[in-house]
Chain A
Protein backbone atom coordinates (compact mmCIF):
# COMPACT_ATOMS: atom_id res chain seq x y z
CA UNK A 1 0.00 0.00 0.00
CA UNK A 2 1.16 3.53 -0.68
CA UNK A 3 1.74 5.78 2.26
CA UNK A 4 2.09 8.92 0.20
CA UNK A 5 -0.24 10.08 -2.51
CA UNK A 6 0.89 12.81 -4.86
CA UNK A 7 -1.39 15.35 -6.41
CA UNK A 8 -1.69 16.09 -9.25
CA UNK A 9 -0.73 12.91 -11.07
CA UNK A 10 0.39 14.99 -14.05
CA UNK A 11 1.29 18.65 -14.48
CA UNK A 12 2.18 20.59 -17.61
CA UNK A 13 3.59 24.11 -17.39
CA UNK A 14 5.61 26.59 -19.42
CA UNK A 15 9.26 27.24 -18.79
CA UNK A 16 9.70 29.95 -16.19
CA UNK A 17 6.50 29.13 -14.33
CA UNK A 18 6.42 27.63 -10.86
CA UNK A 19 5.39 24.02 -10.30
CA UNK A 20 3.72 22.85 -7.13
CA UNK A 21 3.22 19.22 -6.22
CA UNK A 22 1.45 17.96 -3.13
CA UNK A 23 1.82 14.81 -1.09
CA UNK A 24 -0.52 13.43 1.53
CA UNK A 25 0.27 10.56 3.85
CA UNK A 26 -1.56 8.49 6.39
CA UNK A 27 0.55 7.74 9.46
CA UNK A 28 3.04 9.61 11.60
CA UNK A 29 6.50 9.99 10.14
CA UNK A 30 10.11 10.60 11.09
CA UNK A 31 10.83 12.44 7.88
CA UNK A 32 9.52 12.95 4.38
CA UNK A 33 11.67 12.97 1.29
CA UNK A 34 11.26 14.05 -2.32
CA UNK A 35 12.86 12.31 -5.27
CA UNK A 36 13.08 12.99 -8.99
CA UNK A 37 13.13 10.35 -11.70
CA UNK A 38 14.02 11.09 -15.28
CA UNK A 39 12.63 8.73 -17.86
CA UNK A 40 14.41 5.38 -17.82
CA UNK A 41 16.64 6.33 -14.90
CA UNK A 42 16.86 5.71 -11.19
CA UNK A 43 15.48 8.04 -8.57
CA UNK A 44 17.55 10.96 -7.36
CA UNK A 45 17.19 12.31 -3.84
CA UNK A 46 16.19 15.99 -3.78
CA UNK A 47 15.44 16.98 -0.23
CA UNK A 48 14.62 15.57 3.20
CA UNK A 49 12.45 17.32 5.74
CA UNK A 50 12.17 16.05 9.28
CA UNK A 51 8.93 15.85 11.21
CA UNK A 52 9.92 18.79 13.44
CA UNK A 53 10.67 21.04 10.47
CA UNK A 54 8.08 23.10 8.59
CA UNK A 55 9.98 24.35 5.58
CA UNK A 56 13.20 23.65 3.76
CA UNK A 57 14.92 25.16 0.75
CA UNK A 58 17.45 23.82 -1.69
CA UNK A 59 18.23 25.99 -4.68
CA UNK A 60 14.99 26.42 -6.63
CA UNK A 61 13.22 23.84 -4.48
CA UNK A 62 11.04 24.67 -1.52
CA UNK A 63 9.43 21.94 0.57
CA UNK A 64 6.84 22.45 3.27
CA UNK A 65 5.55 19.95 5.78
CA UNK A 66 2.33 20.16 7.77
CA UNK A 67 2.23 17.23 10.16
CA UNK A 68 -1.19 18.21 11.49
CA UNK A 69 -2.63 17.77 8.00
CA UNK A 70 -0.24 14.97 7.10
CA UNK A 71 0.75 16.74 3.93
CA UNK A 72 3.77 18.15 2.17
CA UNK A 73 4.32 20.26 -0.90
CA UNK A 74 7.22 20.63 -3.30
CA UNK A 75 7.58 23.93 -5.12
CA UNK A 76 9.95 24.28 -8.05
CA UNK A 77 10.44 27.93 -8.92
CA UNK A 78 11.33 29.28 -12.35
CA UNK A 79 11.03 25.86 -13.94
CA UNK A 80 13.22 24.75 -16.81
CA UNK A 81 12.75 22.15 -19.52
CA UNK A 82 15.36 20.04 -17.69
CA UNK A 83 12.98 19.80 -14.72
CA UNK A 84 10.73 17.53 -16.80
CA UNK A 85 10.59 14.30 -14.79
CA UNK A 86 8.47 12.36 -12.34
CA UNK A 87 8.57 13.49 -8.73
CA UNK A 88 7.92 11.19 -5.81
CA UNK A 89 7.38 11.80 -2.15
CA UNK A 90 8.46 9.12 0.29
CA UNK A 91 7.85 8.77 3.99
CA UNK A 92 10.08 7.30 6.64
CA UNK A 93 7.91 5.93 9.42
CA UNK A 94 10.89 4.73 11.50
CA UNK A 95 12.39 1.39 10.72
CA UNK A 96 14.66 2.78 8.01
CA UNK A 97 12.24 1.98 5.21
CA UNK A 98 10.79 4.46 2.77
CA UNK A 99 7.27 4.13 1.42
CA UNK A 100 6.75 5.90 -1.90
CA UNK A 101 3.77 7.54 -3.46
CA UNK A 102 2.70 7.07 -7.06
CA UNK A 103 4.43 10.22 -8.29
CA UNK A 104 3.64 13.37 -10.22
CA UNK A 105 4.69 13.58 -13.87
CA UNK A 106 5.89 17.09 -14.59
CA UNK A 107 6.29 18.38 -18.13
CA UNK A 108 7.95 21.75 -18.61
CA UNK A 109 7.46 23.11 -22.10
CA UNK A 110 10.16 25.31 -23.60
Chain B
Protein backbone atom coordinates (compact mmCIF):
# COMPACT_ATOMS: atom_id res chain seq x y z
CA UNK B 1 0.00 0.00 0.00
CA UNK B 2 1.12 3.48 -0.78
CA UNK B 3 3.20 5.10 1.94
CA UNK B 4 3.65 2.02 4.12
CA UNK B 5 5.74 -1.06 3.55
CA UNK B 6 6.32 -4.15 5.64
CA UNK B 7 9.29 -6.47 5.50
CA UNK B 8 9.72 -9.30 5.12
CA UNK B 9 6.52 -10.40 3.37
CA UNK B 10 7.01 -14.00 4.38
CA UNK B 11 9.20 -15.64 6.98
CA UNK B 12 9.64 -19.13 8.37
CA UNK B 13 11.56 -19.38 11.60
CA UNK B 14 12.29 -21.95 14.26
CA UNK B 15 10.84 -22.02 17.73
CA UNK B 16 12.99 -20.12 20.18
CA UNK B 17 14.66 -17.81 17.69
CA UNK B 18 14.26 -14.02 17.78
CA UNK B 19 12.42 -12.40 14.89
CA UNK B 20 12.08 -8.75 13.92
CA UNK B 21 9.46 -7.41 11.57
CA UNK B 22 9.80 -3.96 10.10
CA UNK B 23 7.21 -1.36 9.20
CA UNK B 24 8.28 1.71 7.25
CA UNK B 25 6.13 4.72 6.39
CA UNK B 26 6.68 7.74 4.21
CA UNK B 27 3.55 9.62 5.35
CA UNK B 28 5.02 11.19 8.51
CA UNK B 29 2.03 9.94 10.49
CA UNK B 30 2.30 10.12 14.23
CA UNK B 31 0.55 6.86 15.08
CA UNK B 32 1.75 3.39 14.14
CA UNK B 33 0.27 0.04 15.10
CA UNK B 34 1.03 -3.66 14.97
CA UNK B 35 -1.85 -6.12 14.67
CA UNK B 36 -1.99 -9.85 14.23
CA UNK B 37 -4.72 -11.58 12.27
CA UNK B 38 -5.78 -15.12 13.04
CA UNK B 39 -8.79 -17.15 11.91
CA UNK B 40 -11.62 -16.75 14.37
CA UNK B 41 -10.03 -13.77 16.13
CA UNK B 42 -10.09 -11.01 13.57
CA UNK B 43 -7.37 -8.42 14.09
CA UNK B 44 -5.91 -7.95 17.54
CA UNK B 45 -3.68 -5.09 18.60
CA UNK B 46 -0.20 -6.05 19.77
CA UNK B 47 1.52 -2.71 20.38
CA UNK B 48 1.16 0.83 19.16
CA UNK B 49 3.20 4.02 19.06
CA UNK B 50 2.14 7.63 19.36
CA UNK B 51 5.52 9.14 18.64
CA UNK B 52 9.23 8.51 18.57
CA UNK B 53 10.16 6.41 21.60
CA UNK B 54 6.51 6.51 22.77
CA UNK B 55 4.93 3.07 22.70
CA UNK B 56 2.28 1.17 24.61
CA UNK B 57 0.84 -2.30 24.89
CA UNK B 58 -2.22 -3.58 23.14
CA UNK B 59 -4.50 -6.51 23.78
CA UNK B 60 -2.02 -9.30 22.99
CA UNK B 61 1.41 -7.89 23.83
CA UNK B 62 2.91 -10.84 25.74
CA UNK B 63 5.97 -12.19 23.94
CA UNK B 64 6.37 -9.09 21.77
CA UNK B 65 8.35 -5.89 22.06
CA UNK B 66 8.50 -2.83 19.83
CA UNK B 67 10.76 0.08 19.13
CA UNK B 68 10.36 3.36 17.34
CA UNK B 69 13.59 5.31 17.07
CA UNK B 70 12.47 7.28 14.00
CA UNK B 71 9.09 8.55 12.90
CA UNK B 72 9.14 6.38 9.81
CA UNK B 73 10.09 3.02 11.34
CA UNK B 74 8.25 0.79 13.79
CA UNK B 75 9.85 -2.55 14.62
CA UNK B 76 8.11 -5.56 16.12
CA UNK B 77 10.32 -8.14 17.82
CA UNK B 78 9.42 -11.62 18.92
CA UNK B 79 12.06 -12.28 21.54
CA UNK B 80 11.76 -16.05 21.36
CA UNK B 81 9.29 -17.19 18.74
CA UNK B 82 6.66 -19.80 19.63
CA UNK B 83 4.25 -21.73 17.44
CA UNK B 84 1.36 -19.68 18.85
CA UNK B 85 2.90 -16.64 17.19
CA UNK B 86 2.39 -18.10 13.75
CA UNK B 87 0.13 -15.50 12.21
CA UNK B 88 -0.23 -12.72 9.70
CA UNK B 89 1.10 -9.46 11.07
CA UNK B 90 -0.15 -6.11 9.86
CA UNK B 91 1.28 -2.70 10.45
CA UNK B 92 -0.97 0.35 10.22
CA UNK B 93 -0.48 4.11 10.35
CA UNK B 94 -2.82 6.93 11.24
CA UNK B 95 -2.88 10.68 11.48
CA UNK B 96 -5.87 10.41 13.81
CA UNK B 97 -8.27 11.96 11.34
CA UNK B 98 -9.33 9.59 8.63
CA UNK B 99 -8.73 6.03 9.62
CA UNK B 100 -5.84 3.66 9.27
CA UNK B 101 -3.69 2.77 6.30
CA UNK B 102 -2.52 -0.81 6.44
CA UNK B 103 0.54 -2.48 5.06
CA UNK B 104 0.35 -5.64 2.99
CA UNK B 105 1.20 -7.89 5.90
CA UNK B 106 3.92 -10.32 6.94
CA UNK B 107 3.06 -14.00 7.02
CA UNK B 108 5.12 -15.56 9.81
CA UNK B 109 5.37 -19.29 10.36
CA UNK B 110 7.09 -20.62 13.46
CA UNK B 111 8.07 -24.28 13.13
Contact = CB atoms under 8 A, between A and B. Distances in A.
B31 interface: yes
Residue of B43, B44, B94, B102 with most partner-chain A CB within 10 A: B43
B2 to A, nearest CB: 11
A78 interface: no
Interface in B61-111: 90, 92, 94, 96, 98-105
A42 B96 contact: no
A98 B48 CA distance: 11
Contacts of A96: 31, 48, 50, 94, 96
Interface residues of A, number: 19
Given A99-B45, A102-B42, A42 B102 contact: yes
A43 B42 contact: no
Interface in B30-70: 31, 33, 35, 40-45, 48, 50, 58-59
A88 B42 contact: yes
A43 B90 contact: yes
A45 interface: yes
A1 B76 CA distance: 21
Interface of A: 1-2, 33, 35, 41-45, 48, 88, 96-103
